[in-house]
Amino acid sequence: MNYGKLQLSFILLLIMTILQFLVAVLVLHHMLITILSIIAAILCIIGLIFIQHKMH
């Protein structure tokens, strides 16, 4: 399995999640989207840690 491509996908997903979080907080002021963005970011970080563990 190509973990490099999977790692890049998780990094891009994390960047998009952070952007979504910033829009939810600064523009929309919407609490549910903010909470879901935080949960998604945590899952992305867990995925990146798992991939790093598998690569070594």
> Can you give the pLDDT of all 56 residues of the chain as single tens digits?
788 899 999 999 999 999 999 999 999 888 998 999 999 999 999 999 999 998 88
User: What is the structure's pLDDT at 55?
Assistant: 86
Cut 0.85: pTM above it:
no
User: What is the structure's pLDDT at 2?
Assistant: 85
User: What is the structure's pLDDT at 1?
Assistant: 76
User: What is the structure's pLDDT at 56?
Assistant: 80
Q: Which amino acid is at 35?
A: I
Domain range annotation of the chain: 3-55
